[in-house]
Amino acid sequence: MSDSLERPQLAQARVSVEDGVVVVTLTGEVDLVNAEEVRAALQARLDARPAGLVVDLAVEFLGSPGLAVLVEIDRDAARQEVPFGVVASTRAAALPLVLTGLDDALRVFGSAPEAVRSLRTG
């Protein structure tokens, strides 16, 4: 294997709370290797019943397993009556959502502050 090939950075999560809304910022890559770990981390935040849950996709790559996680969390958030939104401000995050039509199925925002405001006001 060539030394010029770097192992991709798997997703890292940073969590903050703004006006009672939990914002989980994901960086790196969300793919088959780590989608279940990402799902479990988001589910744990959702199960705490916050005023809202925002996933800020500051990722370099979002694969189909990551898209499936977003759909699952959206479904579970609706079942628990927790407002849920996704921030897709980069091409790496927005393009997969647009190509799959999930930008119409999920509440997608251009920034975390916009998402927090929207989820807090209904």
Q: Among 24, 120, 117, 114, which residue's Cα sits nearest to residue 73?
A: 24
CA gap 21, 6 in Å, rounded: 35
The whole-angstrom separation of Cα 104 and Cα 7 is: 33
pLDDT at 71: 98
What is the reported pLDDT for 10? 73
- Domain extent listing, the chain: 12-121
What is the structure's pLDDT at 18? 94
Helices 64-79 and 91-100: angle between axes, nearest 10 degrees: 70
Query: Each residue's pLDDT tens digit in the chain (122 positions)?
Result: 444 555 556 789 999 999 999 999 999 999 999 999 999 999 999 999 999 999 999 999 999 999 999 999 999 999 999 999 999 999 999 999 999 999 999 999 999 999 999 999 87
- CA-nearest of 103, 25, 37, 95 to 61 is 95
Say what the pLDDT of residue 1 is: 43
Q: What pLDDT, on the 0 to 100 scale, is given for residue 11?
A: 83
Q: Which amino acid is at 5?
A: L
State the architecture of 12-121 in CATH terms. Answer: 2-Layer Sandwich (3.30)
Query: What is the chain's alpha carbon radius of gyration, rounded to the nearest angstrom?
Result: 14
